[in-house]
Amino acid sequence: MTEQERIYYLREQLHQHNHRYYVENNPIISDQEFDFMMHELQDLEARHPELYDANSPTMRVGSDITKEFKQVSHKYPMLSLANTYNEQDVEEWYNQVKRGLEGEDFEVCCEMKYDGLSISLTYEEGRLTQAVTRGDGVHGDDVTTNVKTIRSIPLVLQPGLGYPANFEIRGEILLPWDNFNRLNEEREEIGEQPFANPRNAASGTLKSQDSRVVAERGLDAYLYYLITPQGENSDIPPYHYGSLETSKKWGFKVSEGMKKVKTLQEIYDFINYWDTERKNLPVATDGIVLKVNSLRQQRHLGFTAKSPRWAIAYKFKAERVCTRLQEVTYQVGRTGAITPVANMETVQLAGTKVRRATLNNEDFIRSFNLHEGDWVYVEKGGEIIPKIVGVDESRRESNAKPVTFITHCPECGAELRRIEGESAHYCPNDTGCPPQIKGRIEHFIARKAMNIDSLGPETVDLYYEKGFISNIADLYTLTVPQLNYEGSREKSARKIINAIEESKKVPFERVVFALGIRMVGETTAKLLARHFKDIETLRHATVEQLTEVEGIGEIIAVNVIAYFKDEKNAEIVNRLISYGLQMSISKEMMTNKGNALEGKNIVISGVFTHHSRDEYKLLIEQYGGKNVSSISSKTTFILAGDNMGPSKLQKAEKLGVQIVSEEEFLEMIGGDNATTESSQEQQTEAAEEQPQKKSSNKPIQLELF
């Protein structure tokens, strides 16, 4: 056998053994033999770079080549499922399907709802060519290199199995419980924050820039949705269940415990069985998915804007446990907001150890009349952070003291303030309180802000402790010799300095976001940047000018003004200008792309597929139009997505205003040319710092969990 033949032989053998081990759970050779073959292949491949194969089994071990993930558009949008929480909801869905099918018989395929992150895999001629995350459903991250390290995902399918030349298969990537627990133990040992749940761990792992890390962590994947371009393919049964059975034959690990049923009672039985049995599964599940089995019937039922009518998710009830409150501690966030945290006796809840839960704010504590040493009920639903949902007052000791909110900052001792109308307490010492200073720097360097990714929270901490940096502007004064203080860090010091230098090219909108102005999240920063166009105009804007911008209310305006009025901030901004950061909107944004919309007043309404609302606003401006907020006789047309409100529709009809669909609009401005600089904006405003409304019991995200 020549070396070339040996390479081909080993690749084929390793693909097969891999499948037996990771998908079938039925290996026929020892781990040692497997490793031996893998090493031999690695050596041979190193000697024969001309025989490179992107899908070789050696790709499973990963590499440390750092690269940004490329954003790609999904060929078919990745929709989510409507959720139901009880039997009545399930019955309602079942009856809707029945009505939709006009009494025709139908089968339902019941399967597990996996709690990981969704992935779409593309195969061409039997080879995995692309793996993309869900992203915003329309565009996702290309994580192919990382996904190739997941051993249960076939890189090359066995020939002759009748799969189509091109197909997509979707499923969920998960970190099995065992691997998750081991990972968290290791993290705790080395003083790193454990992951809150396997979903976060899987997501953090998949987004890692080092595919060797991904390979080591041991992710797994279950596939639950096959999409073939021709729709019905002669070799694939025209049924969901059958298509997954077929996918299994091609080498995929498919949803466990799938069952075809007909009646509502059978659905309930399936739900009840798995509600307890799921605890024995190796991976996290959070419900059951019900899908109409016939693909023909699925097509007949169709989709709403967000989800298929032919499928629904039933979410298991959140698990609840009772444990004892030991102590309330307080965290200080980047903006000085104080978050009380309940530290409890450790309990096992929904597969993870829980010992901390957010208490949100003073009103939340009061609403439970929380006392020291109370027995509290803790729940973990879909949310990441466990929450306290009640107190067992009957177990309260008679001399227990009520929990009282602190009056001074636990970090710097400053007296806390509570702003009228808001429920959070704040530490006002923003320039002298360490977590606030460090938090602001961490926010500044974050991926969505200045993207200085060679710096992380630990390095920020270190440089702050060493006195190298005490505000965001100081980052630009760092030098290689200063960071190479131990004489052995030249390479990483250089990398950091380069990344800081590189950040000077980050567009103005993100600089505005990076400043960390209270309540100015990504979207608001864009609105401000696009409206005021440069820092000088923005920093001198009045409340009136600020509130003129659609989407900017008085509270945000006041915060913007307060930020720039502060002398220390003003000095920081001056320094950032002098270091050469982008302080005005880029030419690309200002350029007029055409005048197709000149003189037109356009209202945007509904939910869109191709671009976000902000992108449409920008496109309207770039093509000479004006985006107006309400419909009047002056409105030229309404750019309407899905779910446009009925009152708007009525008004449009009454005034005879034309309704234009997304596609028609894009056509109007020149079809494919109509791209904006970022198509990634369909994110929610969740990341924005919204004020906590008085008495809101909504849990807020803590960095710590």
By beta-carbon proximity to ligand IVH, the closer residue of 80 and 629 is 80
Residue keyed to tokens 């690309």: 588
Residues numbered 508-527 forming contacts with ligand IVH, rule: CB under 6 A: none
Residues numbered 543-572 forming contacts with ligand IVH, rule: CB under 6 A: none
* Under rule CB under 6 A, residue 111 binds ligand IVH: yes
**Interface size with ligand IVH, residues (CB under 6 A):** 17
Could you say which of 67, 75, 98, 113 is catalytic?
113
Q: Which stretch binds ligand IVH (CB under 6 A): 76-84, 367-375, 598-606, 681-689?
A: 76-84
How far apart (Å, rounded) are the C-alpha atoms in residues 338 and 92? 43
Identify the residue among 136, 172, 220, 374 touching ligand IVH (CB under 6 A). 172
Angle at 68 between CA 65 and CA 69, to 5 degrees: 110
Rounded least distance, CB 114 to ligand IVH, Å: 4
Beta strands in 392-526 (DSSP E): 417-418, 425-426
Identify the residue among 224, 563, 616, 623 touching ligand IVH (CB under 6 A). 224
- Output Rg (C-alpha) for the chain, integer angstroms: 28
Rounded least distance, CB 82 to ligand IVH, Å: 8
Identify the residue among 84, 255, 569, 682 touching ligand IVH (CB under 6 A). 255
3-state secondary structure of 287: strand
Identify the residue among 7, 10, 14, 81 touching ligand IVH (CB under 6 A). 81
Task: Point out the residue whose Cβ comes nearest to ligand IVH.
Answer: 118
* Under rule CB under 6 A, residue 149 binds ligand IVH: no
Rounded least distance, CB 83 to ligand IVH, Å: 7
Identify the residue among 4, 63, 66, 80 touching ligand IVH (CB under 6 A). 80
Cβ distance 559 to 520 under 8 Å? Answer: yes
By beta-carbon proximity to ligand IVH, the closer residue of 114 and 241 is 114
By beta-carbon proximity to ligand IVH, the closer residue of 118 and 436 is 118
Residue keyed to tokens 């010799």: 481
Rounded least distance, CB 247 to ligand IVH, Å: 13
Cβ distance 386 to 352 under 8 Å? Answer: no
Q: Count other C-beta atoms under 10 Å from residue 113's C-beta.
A: 22
Identify the residue among 114, 239, 608, 637 touching ligand IVH (CB under 6 A). 114
* Under rule CB under 6 A, residue 322 binds ligand IVH: no
Cβ distance 448 to 585 under 8 Å? Answer: no
Instruction: Beginning with the edge strand found earlier in the chain, give each strand of the sheet holding 311-315 in spatial order.
Output: 83-84, 311-315, 285-292, 108-114, 259-261
Whether 113 is a known active-site residue: answer yes
Q: Which stretch binds ligand IVH (CB under 6 A): 29-37, 305-313, 457-465, 468-476?
A: 305-313
3-state secondary structure of 244: helix
Rounded least distance, CB 93 to ligand IVH, Å: 14
* Under rule CB under 6 A, residue 311 binds ligand IVH: yes
Indicate the DSSP class of residue 475. G
How far apart (Å, rounded) are the C-alpha atoms in residues 141 and 119? 10
* Under rule CB under 6 A, residue 118 binds ligand IVH: yes
Rounded least distance, CB 79 to ligand IVH, Å: 5
Q: Which stretch binds ligand IVH (CB under 6 A): 77-85, 188-196, 427-435, 569-577?
A: 77-85
Rounded least distance, CB 76 to ligand IVH, Å: 9
Helix, strand, coil share (%) of the chain residues, nearest 5: 40, 20, 40
Angle at 75 between CA 71 and CA 79, to 5 degrees: 90
Q: Kindly write down the DSSP assignment for every residue of 553-585, as one continuous string.
A: -HHHHHHHHHHHHSHHHHHHHHHHHHHT---B-
Residues numbered 394-413 forming contacts with ligand IVH, rule: CB under 6 A: none
How far apart (Å, rounded) are the C-alpha atoms in residues 56 and 427? 55
Rounded least distance, CB 108 to ligand IVH, Å: 13
Identify the residue among 195, 225, 368, 508 touching ligand IVH (CB under 6 A). 225
* Under rule CB under 6 A, residue 289 binds ligand IVH: yes
3-state secondary structure of 186: helix
Q: Which stretch binds ligand IVH (CB under 6 A): 14-22, 111-119, 448-456, 692-700?
A: 111-119
By beta-carbon proximity to ligand IVH, the closer residue of 180 and 274 is 274
Mask: binding to ligand IVH, 637-666, rule CB under 6 A, as x and -?
------------------------------
Residues 335-362 as b/e (b if ≥16 CB within 10 A, e otherwise) read bbbbbbbbebeeeebbbbebebbbbbbb
* Under rule CB under 6 A, residue 270 binds ligand IVH: no
By beta-carbon proximity to ligand IVH, the closer residue of 71 and 307 is 307
If you count them, how many residues does the chain have? 705
How far CA 668 is from CA of 255, 348, 375, 594, 644, in Å, comes to: 44, 57, 63, 11, 21
Cβ distance 655 to 626 under 8 Å? Answer: no
Rounded least distance, CB 153 to ligand IVH, Å: 16
Rounded least distance, CB 177 to ligand IVH, Å: 16
By beta-carbon proximity to ligand IVH, the closer residue of 301 and 557 is 301
Identify the residue among 97, 313, 403, 511 touching ligand IVH (CB under 6 A). 313
How far apart (Å, rounded) are the C-alpha atoms in residues 408 and 241? 60
* Under rule CB under 6 A, residue 532 binds ligand IVH: no
Q: Kindly write down the DSSP assignment for every residue of 493-537, as one continuous string.
A: HHHHHHHHHHGGGS-HHHHHHHTT-TT--HHHHHHHHHHH-BHHH
Catalytic residues, which ones? 113
Query: Which residues of the shown chain bind ligand IVH in the complex (CB under 6 A)?
Result: 79-81, 111-114, 118, 134, 172, 224-225, 255, 289, 308, 311, 313
